[in-house]
């Protein structure tokens, strides 16, 4: 059985779900460059906050307050695009009659490194 993970920021009462990306398990998240970049981007922009990763099977131990947290997955992905870190390739709509349910297929921008001598 698949175990999906979420990232919770208990300081700001928000969370990242991987439902917009074609990943959810630990291995998928680690091996998908956009997912790992999103976590790094989020951590670096929320330095000092209490951030935890929990599996959906930890729901029994989730505090009730997690139900009131705001999802920031799309906001974070959009900020990565604004910062020139990633770009959307396309969106795969999962249901013809519901445009709110989709998977984002994204890639990282190519980086040109400049070294100092």
Tokens representing residue 53 in the block = 């990763």
Please list the pLDDT of the chain residue by residue as tens digits (117 residues).
678 899 999 999 999 999 889 999 999 999 999 999 999 999 999 999 999 998 877 766 666 777 889 999 999 999 999 999 999 999 999 898 998 888 999 999 987 777 766
- pLDDT score at 33: 95
DSSP 9-68: ETTTTEEEESTTTT--SHHHHHH-HHHHHHHHHHHHHTTTS-EEEEEGGGGGGS-GGGGG
Nearest to 37 by CA among 92, 112, 93, 106: 106
Res 22: pLDDT: 92
């Amino acid at each position: 059985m698949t175990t999906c993970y979420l990232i919770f920021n208990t300081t700001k009462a928000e969370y990242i779900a991987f439902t917009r990306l074609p990943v959810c398990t630990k291995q998928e998240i680690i091996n998908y460059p956009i997912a790992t970049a999103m976590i790094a981007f989020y951590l670096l922009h929320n330095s000092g906050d209490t951030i935890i990763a929990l599996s959906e099977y930890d729901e029994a131990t989730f505090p009730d307050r997690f139900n009131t947290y705001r999802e920031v997955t799309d906001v974070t992905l959009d900020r990565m695009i604004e910062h020139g870190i990633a770009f959307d390739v396309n969106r795969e709509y999962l249901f013809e009659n519901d445009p709110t349910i989709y998977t984002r297929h994204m890639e990282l921008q190519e980086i040109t490194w400049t070294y100092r001598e």
